[in-house]
Amino acid sequence: MNSIDLSTTIGSLKLKNPVLLASGTVGYGNEIAQLTDISKLGGIVTKSLSLKPRNGNPPQRIVETPSGMLNAIGLANVGVEEFVKEKIPFLKELDTAIICNIAASSIEEYVECVKILTCIETINAFEINVSCPNVKEGGLIFGNDLSSVARITEQVRAVTNKPIIIKLSPNVPNISEFASVVKNEGGDAVSAINTLVGSSFDIYTRKPKIKNITGGLSGPAIKPIAIAKVLEIKRNVDIPIIGIGGIMNWKDAAEFMIVGASAVQVGTANFINPNTGNEIVDGLIEFCDRQRIQKLTELIGSYKI
Ligand SMILES: Cc1cc2nc3c(=O)[nH]c(=O)nc-3n(C[C@H](O)[C@H](O)[C@H](O)COP(=O)(O)O)c2cc1C
Digits of tens for pLDDT over the chain (305 positions)? 558 999 999 999 999 999 999 999 999 999 899 999 999 999 999 999 999 999 999 999 999 999 999 999 999 999 999 999 999 999 999 999 999 999 999 999 999 999 999 999 999 999 999 999 998 888 999 999 999 999 999 999 999 999 999 999 999 999 999 999 999 999 999 999 999 999 999 999 999 999 999 999 999 999 999 999 999 999 999 999 999 999 999 999 999 999 999 999 999 999 999 999 999 999 999 999 999 999 999 999 999 99
Instruction: Check residue 2 and give its pLDDT.
Output: 58
132 given a catalytic annotation: yes
User: CA 199, 241, 22: angle at the middle one, nearest 5?
Assistant: 50
- State in Å: Cα 266 to ligand 1 middle: 9
Q: For residues 21 and 44, is the Cβ–Cβ distance under 8 A?
A: yes
> What SS3 state is found at 115?
helix
Give pLDDT, residue 165.
Answer: 98
Which protein residue's CA is at the shortest distance from atom 3 of ligand 1? 24
User: If you take atom 18 of ligand 1, which residue's CA is the nearest one?
Assistant: 194
Beta bridge partners of 263: 242
Exposure of 219 in the CB half-sphere (CA atoms within 13 A) = 19
C-alpha 203 – ligand 1 centre gap (Å): 27
233 within 8 A of 176, measured Cβ to Cβ: yes
Nearest atom within ligand 1 for CA of residue 268: 27
Q: Which H or E run contains 284?
A: helix 276-291
Domain ranges of the chain: 8-299
Pick the CATH number of 8-299 from 3.40.50.300, 3.90.1150.10, 2.40.110.10, 3.20.20.70: 3.20.20.70
| Ligand 1 atom 26, closest CA | 267
Q: What is the pTM of this model?
A: 0.98
Q: Ligand 1 pocket: which of 218, 242, 255, 265 to mutate (most atoms <8 Å of CB)?
A: 218
Cα of 283 vs centre of ligand 1, distance in Å, is 23
